[in-house]
């Protein structure tokens, strides 16, 4: 089954740059770009787990609006702005690459080389659009309408995946990982977009509290937080399972990872319902 | 195109008596159509008779001579010097044993140890379906056979298991494939038993769909395709199947 496709000029140029990295090209030649993508997916996921901890910690300052405002003032500079933008790279890569894997595993889409192209193309479009929004910083959108659209898209995506996988004999948590991934694709990418439509949307304490006070947003955020921490927790569980041979140590580490995720999920839910 | 190449082979050595591991460099001139097994033989003849490696059929059918060349698991009886130079764009090659099994000495691994995972999935028909009423043979339609005949070409060389992202707690792509072959084989009736193994703790939940197995397979079997079929639920048990 040959799924390789011809490279365009620009792709050949970009691949040439990537292949200059001795480590990347070593693994790409030895085990294929799919192998490199899998490791990149895993590393991006770990970065996002760490960021989620930091994000919940930062948001916990919302209990004291003055403290939150001072923290936001501290991060209001080019360096933090750049880091916020750079975070979009692992976010969108993990989301789109996850979608590629679901397409391959559940929907028999075997044009993997083409799918990898789409991951990079759509990822580039996303991060460039986000950069544009961040520079402009003057966009307004109805929060209710925006989140309604995103919630509908997430529900449709996760329902399609659920419907496809529900009768398979895959383990329940394995299936939930795919379903939650499909839900989070529009949700996480929408979340980053929304936060950078204008500066106030993601940084001004009054704007954030006002937005989070609506019951509709609370429900969306609640589902969002639960699925993010489930997805992250199961991701860590699979990494532990892939690396730790000792059954007891594996079980112990899995319990610790689940506990930490549960604590942060609880902290996130508490913030949502205290606004 | 040069007729002869100056090559450097950096070979992983292991002495089980002293449990010492080291990398040994061998410099040699080799013609472009020599295979890597020929290079090892040349080293044995001309430089170092102690270098241990293994091969059997040397026609890409037995899977004994699998090794990692510059990180890529492949059959060294199939790898010509010229092709290796083109593929890796170098005249220096790191030669390592496969990681799918314990190393016995230098480049020779304990294939019996590796085969334990294949034996675990019972790569034979556990419970045979009734034969055709008119004769002793079991008839398989060409269409049914076409769906899995590619997977029957597996020679268990363990190149896929070595390339796989998941190196622990996993049966490995070739063992999973052996199970899938019998799941797709209409002569097999013990489907549920096979599904239990397939979806079990060491089965496909450990596959990360990196497709490295398909990328390195010397027999060009798209192993990831068959594993993905299992993930999408293509092998649902039939009501009449036995345990």
pLDDT of residue B222: 97
pLDDT of residue B163: 97
Q: Do B206 and A241 touch (CB under 8 A)?
A: yes
Q: How many domains does chain B have?
A: 2
Are B82 and B121 in a shared domain? Answer: no
pLDDT of residue B126: 95
Residue A11: pLDDT over 80: no
pLDDT tens for B182-212 read: 999 999 999 999 999 999 999 999 999 999 9
pLDDT of residue A183: 98
SS3 per-residue string spanning chain B: CCCEEEEEEEEEEEECCCCEEEEEEEEEEEECCCEHHHHHHHHHHHCCCCCCCCCCCCCCCCCCCEEEECCEEEECCCCEHHHHHHHHCCCEEEEEECCCCCEEECCEECHHHHHHHHHHCCCCCCCECCCCCCCCCCCCCHHHHHHHHHHHHCCCCCHHHHHCCCCCCCCCHHHHHHHHHHHHCCCECCHHHHHHHHCCCCCHHHCCCCCHHHHHCCCCCCHHHHHHHHHCCCCCCCCCCCC
> Apex CA A97: angle with CA B68 and CA B158, to 5°?
25
CB pairs under 8 A between A and B: 103
Are B41 and B134 in a shared domain? Answer: no
Secondary structure class of A239 (helix, strand, coil): helix
Domains of chain A (ranges, CATH numbers): 9-274 (1.20.1300)
pLDDT of residue A73: 84
pLDDT of residue A5: 58
Interface test with A, best of B169, B172, B200 (most A CBs within 10 A): B169
Across A8-12, A29-33, A163-167, least confident range: A8-12
**Which of B71, B198, B231 lies nearest to residue A27, judging by beta carbons?**
B71
A residues 116-135 lying closer than 8 A (beta carbon) to B: none
Residues of A in contact with B10 (CB under 8 A): none
Are B128 and B217 in a shared domain? Answer: yes
pLDDT of residue B154: 97
Sign of the torsion formed by the C-alpha atoms of B234, B238, B242 and B243: positive
Are B137 and B163 in a shared domain? Answer: yes
Report the pLDDT averaged over residues A203-231.
91
Residues of A in contact with B212 (CB under 8 A): 31-32, 34-35
B150 domain-assigned: yes
pLDDT of residue A153: 97
Are B37 and B24 in a shared domain? Answer: yes
CA separation, residue B182 to residues A72, A175, A181 (Å)? 60, 25, 32
Q: Cβ(B93)–Cβ(B10) under 8 Å?
A: yes
Report the pLDDT averaged over residues B37-58.
97
Query: Any bridge partners for residue B6, and if so which?
Result: B29
Are B88 and B118 in a shared domain? Answer: no
Mean pLDDT across chain B: 94
B57 domain-assigned: yes
Q: Do A169 and B236 touch (CB under 8 A)?
A: yes
Residue A175: pLDDT over 80: yes
Choose the final residue of a domain: B60, B76, B109. Answer: B109
What CATH number is attached to the domain comprising B15? 3.10.20.30
State whether residue B163 sits within 8 Å of chain A by CB: yes
Q: Which domain holds residue B105?
A: 4-109
CA distance A164 to A188: 22
Choose the final residue of a domain: B109, B142, B165. Answer: B109
Q: Which H or E element spans position A254?
A: helix A247-274
Confidence of residue B243 (pLDDT cuts 50, 70, 90): very low
Interface test with B, best of A40, A97, A168, A248 (most B CBs within 10 A): A168
What CATH number is attached to the domain comprising B171? 1.10.1060.10
Q: Do A38 and B88 touch (CB under 8 A)?
A: no
pLDDT of residue B242: 42
Residue of B nearest to A37 (CA): B210
CA separation, residue A254 to residues A22, A42, B232 (Å)? 34, 17, 26
Are B83 and B120 in a shared domain? Answer: no
Find the helix packing angle between A247-274 and A33-59, rounded to 10°. 50
pLDDT tens for B90-136 read: 999 999 999 999 999 999 999 998 999 999 999 999 999 988 777 77
Distance from CA of A114 to the nearest CA of B (A): 14
Query: Any bridge partners for residue B92, and if so which?
Result: B8
B191 domain-assigned: yes
**Which of A30, A38, A170 lies nearest to residue B70, judging by beta carbons?**
A30
B residues 172-211 lying closer than 8 A (beta carbon) to A: 195, 198-199, 204-206, 208-211
Residue B238: pLDDT over 80: no
Q: Do A244 and B199 touch (CB under 8 A)?
A: no
Are B52 and B64 in a shared domain? Answer: yes
Are B119 and B145 in a shared domain? Answer: yes
Interface test with A, best of B233, B234, B235, B237 (most A CBs within 10 A): B233
B174 domain-assigned: yes
Choose the final residue of a domain: B61, B76, B109. Answer: B109
Are B67 and B163 in a shared domain? Answer: no
The structure tokens 């839910």 sit at A269
Confidence of residue A8 (pLDDT cuts 50, 70, 90): low
Which of B40, B95, B103 has the alpha carbon at shortest distance from B68?
A: B95
Residue B176: pLDDT over 90: yes
Residue B219: pLDDT over 50: yes
Give CB contacts under 8 A, 24+ apart, made by A232-235. Answer: A232/A45, A232/A48, A232/A49, A232/A52, A232/A261, A233/A257, A233/A258, A233/A261, A233/A262, A234/A173, A234/A176, A234/A177, A234/A180, A235/A42, A235/A45, A235/A49, A235/A177
Confidence of residue B232 (pLDDT cuts 50, 70, 90): very high
Q: Do A167 and B233 touch (CB under 8 A)?
A: yes
B residues 32-71 lying closer than 8 A (beta carbon) to A: 68, 70-71
Residue A267: pLDDT over 90: yes
The structure tokens 């913030």 sit at A271
pLDDT tens for A133-160 read: 999 888 888 888 999 999 999 999 999 9
pLDDT of residue B241: 45
B241 domain-assigned: no
Are B121 and B220 in a shared domain? Answer: yes
The structure tokens 């460099």 sit at B25
Report the pLDDT averaged over residues B67-89.
95
Distance from CA of B132 to the nearest CA of A (A): 31
Distance from CA of B52 to the nearest CA of A (A): 23
Residues of B in contact with A110 (CB under 8 A): 225
Distance from CA of B30 to the nearest CA of A (A): 23
CA separation, residue A156 to residues A49, A185, B238 (Å)? 25, 11, 31
Q: What percent of chain A has pLDDT over 70?
A: 94
CA separation, residue A101 to residues A96, A119, A128, B130 (Å)? 9, 11, 24, 39
B242 domain-assigned: no
Are B95 and B117 in a shared domain? Answer: no
Sign of the torsion formed by the C-alpha atoms of A101, A103, A104 and A106: positive
Q: What percent of chain A has pLDDT over 90?
A: 69
Q: What percent of chain B has pLDDT over 90?
A: 88
pLDDT of residue A2: 40
Report the pLDDT averaged over residues B71-91.
95
pLDDT of residue A1: 42
**Which of A110, A169, A174 lies nearest to residue B225, judging by beta carbons?**
A110
């Amino acid at each position: 089954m040959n799924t390789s496709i011809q490279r365009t000029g620009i792709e050949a140029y970009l691949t040439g740059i990537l292949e200059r990295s001795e480590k990347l090209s070593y693994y790409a030649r030895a085990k294929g770009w799919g192998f490199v993508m899998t490791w990149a997916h895993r590393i991006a996921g770990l970065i996002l787990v760490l960021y989620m901890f930091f994000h919940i910690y930062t948001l916990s300052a919302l209990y004291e609006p003055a403290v939150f405002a001072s923290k936001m003032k501290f991060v209001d500079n080019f360096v933090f702005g750049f880091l916020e933008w750079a975070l979009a790279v692992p976010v969108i890569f993990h989301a789109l690459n996850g979608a590629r894997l679901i397409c391959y595993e559940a929907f028999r889409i075997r044009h993997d080389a083409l799918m990898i192209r789409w991951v990079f193309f759509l990822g580039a479009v996303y991060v460039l659009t986000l950069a544009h929004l961040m520079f402009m910083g003057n966009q307004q959108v109805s929060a209710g309408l925006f989140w309604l659209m995103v919630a509908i898209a997430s529900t449709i995506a996760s329902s399609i995946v659920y419907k496809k996988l529900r009768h398979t004999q895959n383990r329940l948590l394995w299936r939930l990982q795919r379903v939650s991934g499909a839900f989070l694709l529009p949700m996480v990418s929408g979340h980053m977009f929304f936060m950078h439509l204008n500066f106030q949307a993601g940084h001004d304490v009054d704007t954030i509290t006002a937005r989070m006070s609506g019951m509709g947003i609370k429900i969306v955020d609640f589902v969002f937080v639960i699925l993010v921490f489930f997805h992250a927790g199961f991701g860590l569980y699979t990494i532990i399972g892939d690396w730790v041979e000792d059954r007891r140590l594996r079980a112990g580490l899995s319990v610790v990872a689940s506990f930490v995720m549960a604590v942060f999920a609880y902290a996130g839910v508490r913030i949502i319902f205290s606004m | 195109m040069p007729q002869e190449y100056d090559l450097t082979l950096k070979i992983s050595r292991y002495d089980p008596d002293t449990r010492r591991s080291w990398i040994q460099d061998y410099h040699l001139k080799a013609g472009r159509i020599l295979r890597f097994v020929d290079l090892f033989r040349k080293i044995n003849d001309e430089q170092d008779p102690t270098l241990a490696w293994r091969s059997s059929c040397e026609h890409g059918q037995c899977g004994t001579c699998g090794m990692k060349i510059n990180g890529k698991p492949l059959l060294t009886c199939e790898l010509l010097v010229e092709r290796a130079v083109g593929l890796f764009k170098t005249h220096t090659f790191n030669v390592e044993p496969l990681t799918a099994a314990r190393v016995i000495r230098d480049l020779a691994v304990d294939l019996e140890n590796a085969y334990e995972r294949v034996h675990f999935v019972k790569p034979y028909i556990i419970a045979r379906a009734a034969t055709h009423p008119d004769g002793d043979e079991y008839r398989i339609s060409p269409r049914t056979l076409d769906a899995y005949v590619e997977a029957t070409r597996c020679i268990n060389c363990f190149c896929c298991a070595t390339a796989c992202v998941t190196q622990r707690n996993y049966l490995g792509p070739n063992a999973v494939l052996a199970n899938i072959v019998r799941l797709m084989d209409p002569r097999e009736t013990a489907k549920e038993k096979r599904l239990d193994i397939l979806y079990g703790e060491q089965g496909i939940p450990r596959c990360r769909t990196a497709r490295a197995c398909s990328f390195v397979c010397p027999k060009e079997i798209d192993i990831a395709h068959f594993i993905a079929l299992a993930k999408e639920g293509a092998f649902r048990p039939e009501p009449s199947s036995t345990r």
